Structure 1
Amino acid sequence: MIYFPVDSLDVRHNFALEYYLMTQRKPQEPVLLLWSTRPTVMLGKYQSAQNELNLPFIKQHQIEIVRRLSGGGTIYTDQGGCQFTLIWPERGTSIDFSKGLQVITSALQQIGINAQTDSRNDLVIDGRKVSGSAQYMMPGYRLHHGSLLFDSNLDWMSHALRIDPLKAKAKQIKSVHQRTVNLREQQPSWTAAEFKARLLKALLKQTNAQTRSLSADDESALPSLAAKYFSEDKALASASQQFDHQHKTYLPGVGIISLSYSLDSDQKLSALSLDGDFFSNLNQQQFTAALIGQPYKASVLSPIIDQQLKQTPIKGLKAQELTALLF
């Protein structure tokens, strides 16, 4: 494994680095990154900023807004915690958090922090979330990144993020704050910087990672990638198109799934949008293009949806469940 030190607190720089490593540097060994950010909210790939964010609070407190290339839910990060990135040279289309979470939980246990995985993608302590993870794939590579709360500002987190009423009801929680906790409760004498240093030492020992530095050419490639893929405008962009119908549900092990659609005078799909906090490498444009123009009939749309999800699965979701939601 290769470890690249990351000093930047700019989330756009750090997301661009992940992307650059997989698409241009193309290492032949696994990669480890450990990094932090200024106060930031990170939207999942398939989420609506308007639904997930308290934008007036975020603007007032100058919190950065960015959209990941991975699915999952919105998270808040700051220098009170840290982010980890694990990149493996491998091929695949299905999301699998087990290998990455094993690396992180083992390192946490080595430094005296007892966190367990939950049923989906989080690390928890006594049922309260301390870490969330997400994944995406590029040709030949799998990326698993996640956050670790150590001494983060949970009040800002609670005010900046909105919780979907469907998820709140299903999980029987009233606020983001109620569901999360800082790791500092287990190690109250540590600072966030000390936690990060101890974690890094444990990760390097566990993975036998060799430390390497980015070249000047590597660094010079990052600003254009950050601007192209991770700008605030891109994060906040939402379709201006209005839909006639919306069907939304929360499925355990999958997350929020929302389908918005319109029909033309011949009862054919004229517009469609798939949103939520699910995990997938699904191309939304390709998915909707396969369905638009088709008659709004389950017998017609079901095999198309099945074919699309066979090509690029949504973690935990069966094609018949998505078809049933559409109808």
Structure 2
Amino acid sequence: MGFSVEAVVSAVRRAVTRASGWADHEWELVREGPRSPLTHMALDEVLAEEVGPGRRGPTLRFWEWSSPAVILGGFQSVRNEVDLGAAGRHGIEVVRRITGGGAMFVEPGNTVTYSLYAPPSLVAGLSVAESYPFLDDWVLGVLGDLGLNVWYQPLNDIASEGGKIGGAAQKRMGSGAVLHHVTMSYSIDAAKLGEVLRVGREKLSDKGVASAARRVDPLARQTGLAREVVIDRLIAGFRSRFGLVDGPVSAVEEARAGELVASKFATEGWLWRVP
């Protein structure tokens, strides 16, 4: 984390709180076939809650999408963020996640999305702002190995000379676990995105900071690699740094995710909690 005053203070805080390191844990990998947007929302909550009390080890999960969607941040307004008429014309589902941050537009094959479900000890002694680059430093390393000049743009963006590559969102769960997920653009249908998301106007984020649409520079253009190869390289990079074993979603976790879809994520009350 460098040798600035802030970095030294963080290091001291982590030592005092007896923070754990990445290699202190046995990390599990979940990489499965496509799932519905609603199922992804539910799985994020279920797997994070399983990691908190230790029923599941710390986990890295890569997502595959079965259908296009707009995923709203937990505190965003549906009407402010989405043109519902355009979404309907294009068959795009609108769902809401449990983390904050901005809206995402995804289609099968056009993003690289992953979640980290980490124990609280991994980020002990770090502020929320410090935990974002800390949890994604390995990604910057792998992208650097692929020849990209990338950096972390506070609070939660992965950026390059050509523009934004991706963004992160995070939530500290009641169980103590940290849910941290990232969506990076692999390719982008800019015309469709412009129709569906209301990105052409300044708006207030969940933290009350004015923001506008930012230029995106997708991984397909920057790397020239197939999306599956990019994901393979990310997994290999994580494994070489910290170790990684297969940890598929269990039948119990599947059942709980299905229950959460029905009782929470698919309900009008959840989607329209911020109209």
Q: Give the TM-score category using the shorter length.
A: 0.7 to 0.9
Rg bigger for which structure?
Answer: 1
Partner of 2:181: 145
Q: Deviations over 1:270-320 (max 9, x none)?
A: xxxxxxxxxxxxxxxxxxxxxxxxxxxxxxxxxxxxxxxxxxxxxxxxxxx
1:48 to 65, 72, 77: 77
The reply to whether residue 211 of structure 1 matches residue 211 of structure 2 is no
Instruction: Name the SS for the 1:97 alignment partner.
Output: helix
Q: Deviations over 1:31-76 (max 9, x none)?
A: 1011132321111111101001111111111112111111111111
For 1:66-215, list aligned pairs within 5 A: 66-78=95-107, 79-90=109-120, 95=128, 96-126=131-161, 128-138=163-173, 139-163=175-199, 164-166=201-203, 176=213, 179-188=215-224, 190-215=225-250
- How far, CA to CA, are the matches of 2:59 and 2:166 in structure 1? 20
Partner of 2:7: none
CA positional deviation for 1:15 = 2.1
- C-alpha spacing 1:111/1:127, structure 2 compared with 1 (3 Å): closer
- How far, CA to CA, are the matches of 2:274 and 2:101 in structure 1? 20
CA positional deviation for 1:170 = 6.3
Instruction: Name the SS for the 1:132 alignment partner.
Output: strand
Instruction: Name the SS for the 1:180 alignment partner.
Output: coil
CA positional deviation for 1:230 = 1.9
Partner of 1:11: 37
CA positional deviation for 1:80 = 1.4
CA positional deviation for 1:217 = 2.8
Instruction: Name the SS for the 1:147 alignment partner.
Output: strand
- C-alpha spacing 1:23/1:197, structure 2 compared with 1 (3 Å): same
- How far, CA to CA, are the matches of 1:239 and 1:82 in structure 2? 27
Q: How does the TM-score come out when normalised to structure 1?
A: 0.65
Q: Percent identity?
A: 24
**Where does structure 1 lack aligned partners over 5 or more consecutive residues?**
241-327
Residue type at the aligned position of 2:246 = T
Residue type at the aligned position of 1:160 = V
CA positional deviation for 1:127 = 5.7
Instruction: Name the SS for the 1:195 alignment partner.
Output: helix
- C-alpha spacing 1:113/1:211, structure 2 compared with 1 (3 Å): farther
- C-alpha spacing 1:87/1:161, structure 2 compared with 1 (3 Å): same
**Does the aligned pair in 2 maintain the 1:111–1:202 contact within 8 Å?**
no
- How far, CA to CA, are the matches of 2:274 and 2:186 in structure 1? 36
Residue type at the aligned position of 1:32 = L
- How far, CA to CA, are the matches of 1:34 and 1:224 in structure 2? 22
Coordinate RMSD, CA, aligned:
2.7
The reply to whether residue 21 of structure 1 matches residue 47 of structure 2 is yes
Q: How does the TM-score come out when normalised to structure 2?
A: 0.76
- C-alpha spacing 1:230/1:41, structure 2 compared with 1 (3 Å): same
Residue type at the aligned position of 2:158 = L
CA positional deviation for 1:239 = 6.1
- How far, CA to CA, are the matches of 2:98 and 2:92 in structure 1? 19
- How far, CA to CA, are the matches of 1:116 and 1:77 in structure 2? 23
CA positional deviation for 1:211 = 1.3
Residue type at the aligned position of 1:152 = I
